[in-house]
Structure 1
Amino acid sequence: MSSRPGIDVPDARGRTGLDRTGRDLEGNPDVVIHDVELLATAWHVLRRTTYDYRSPDGTWSRQQRETYDRGNGATLLPYDAERGTVLLARQFRYPVYVNGHPDGLLLETAAGLLDEDSPEDAIRREATEELGITIGEIEHVFDVYMSPGSVTERLHFYAAPYTPDTRLTAGGGLADEGEDITVVELPFAEALDMTYDGRINDAKTIMLLQWAALRGPFRPS
């Protein structure tokens, strides 16, 4: 039997056993896992899982789903309540470019994968790398599955105050990871308006801006 990267020999990132994920799930008696196939491991992991599913009427059916596993992530909305501003990042996103965005330059909240960090540590790291700020106390807003039909990622949402004094560098991301980020400071009211006219059309950003307006630092007094 030939060696298979990511299964019985390390893939490019040194991982093995990637076909084992999901095989031991027992939380739902109406789902019985039969097989997990590893389809791709170029960077993140694409799997095809075969399982039996029992409908409410008791009928069992054999189903397959492909899942894209890129790990979990965290995102942050920095706000200055006194000056009425928020800090966002603008960067090129090829997936939105190929799917109809005019130039692929998306305006969004800072975000990144957790890697081996806790969500709070990860978002502090991203705030420094992408936005050039250090943050003190942060507020956990909610945790969300962003695309549950195919992507396994759970995104942890945070907000934190900032001031001009906490902006220590120009930010911009890590060049060796292909990041080329422009830091954008906007009046909160303008940023919220941009979610309605299409200038901001990133889901996590819209969610945090609406939270800020309804229950966060810019809610009506």
Structure 2
Amino acid sequence: MPSSRTPSAPRPSRVERLARERVFQGYFAVDRHTLRHEQFQGGLGPKVTREIFERGHAVCVLPYDPATDQAVLIEQFRPGPFAAGDAEPWLIETVAGIIDAGESAEDVVRREAEEEAGLTLGRLEALTTQYMSPGGSSESIALFVGECDSAGVGGLHGLDHEGEDIRVFATPFAEAHAMALDGRIRNAMTALAILQTAAKRDALRKAWSAP
């Protein structure tokens, strides 16, 4: 991942790990880290202890039809917003999934597009890789846009044994972009994938329309 530091910024680099302990193991895991890190003013700072949510690394992909200029989105229940007391815990999102051992990000993108949206993706364009909640989770998410044919897209998808209940729909890209800007989309990786795709949209339509 490219560095976010400006050329003139100090460059701390030293981290001293004092302890790491697994304090919870369930569907996901939580590790307690005790460490000291170098500070911008120089020298090591005080000892800090943080619980970090460990769920592996993930991908998301925005299926995009260059012929019709449509994006394919999904909607599903999310327990996080429900636990936060959100009155509307069904979120509009992109296709996404966790990368298992031995899988590439591209493999997961294609598998999840079939499972969650019934789509076979064509060409893929990597957008960016980001940490969604770096203060408390080790998870990074690789974002892609994927070429698709949106004709006939719709219905309910997902794996029954995982309790998935996913509504799939196609929408004009301009409408997806508007939803990312006006707050109808409240999933950060989805909004970012749409905004990143918007910056590349004209070039993608030209490239993906070529034989």
Same-fold status (TM-score > 0.5): yes
Give yes or no for the alignment of 1:206 onto 2:191: yes
Q: Secondary structure at the match of 1:216?
A: helix
Shift of 1:79: 0.8
- Between 1 and 2, higher relative CO (CA 8 Å, sep ≥ 6) is seen in 2
Distance in structure 2 (CA, Å) of the matches to 1:219 and 1:193:
19
Q: Is 1:149–2:111 an aligned residue pair?
A: no
Q: Which residue of 2 aligns with 1:35?
A: 19
Percent of matched pairs sharing the same residue: 33
- Mapped to 2, the partners of 1:59 and 1:46 lie a distance apart of 25
How many residue pairs get aligned? The number is 193
Residue by residue over 1:163-219, the C-alpha shift from the partner in whole angstroms, topping out at 9 and shown as x without a partner, is 14695x956111101110000111111111112222111111111111122223488
Equivalent position of 2:8 in the other structure: none
Q: Distance in 2 between matches of 1:170 and 1:217?
A: 29
SS of residue paired to 2:46: strand
In the superposition, relative to structure 1, how do residues 59 and 133 fare at CA in structure 2: closer, same or farther (>3 Å)? closer
CA distance in 2: counterparts of 1:136 and 1:103, whole angstroms: 33
Instruction: Tell me how far apart the structure 1 counterparts of residues 146 and 22 of structure 2 sit (CA, whole Å).
Output: 39
What's the CA shift for 1:66? Answer: 1.2
Letter aligned with residue 16 of structure 2: V
Deviation at 1:157, TM superposition (A): 0.9
Matched, 1:96 2:81: yes
- Which residue number in structure 2 is paired with residue 123 of structure 1? 109
Cα 1:185–1:166 shift into 2, 3 Å: closer
Q: Distance in 2 between matches of 1:159 and 1:76?
A: 5
**SS in structure 1 of the partner of residue 56 of structure 2:** coil
The whole-number CA distance in structure 2 between the counterparts of 1:205 and 1:90 is 11
Is the 2:127–2:197 contact (alpha carbons within 8 Å) kept by the matching residues of 1?
A: no
Matched, 1:197 2:182: yes
The CA deviation at 1:154 is 1.1
Q: Give the Å deviation of 1:50.
A: 0.8
Matched, 1:139 2:125: yes
> Which residue of structure 1 aligns with residue 72 of structure 2?
87
TM-score (norm 2): 0.83
Q: CA 1:193 to 1:60, structure 2 compared with 1: closer, same or farther past 3 Å? A: closer
> What is aligned with 1:73?
58
Q: Is the 8 A contact 1:47 1:68 kept in 2?
A: yes
Distance between the aligned counterparts of 1:80 and 1:29, measured in 2? 43
- Name the CA distance, whole Å, in 2 between partners of 1:41 and 1:59: 31
CA-based RMSD? 2.3
Structure with bigger gyration radius? 1
**How far apart in 1 are the matches of 2:13 and 2:172?**
50
The corresponding residue for 1:180 is 165
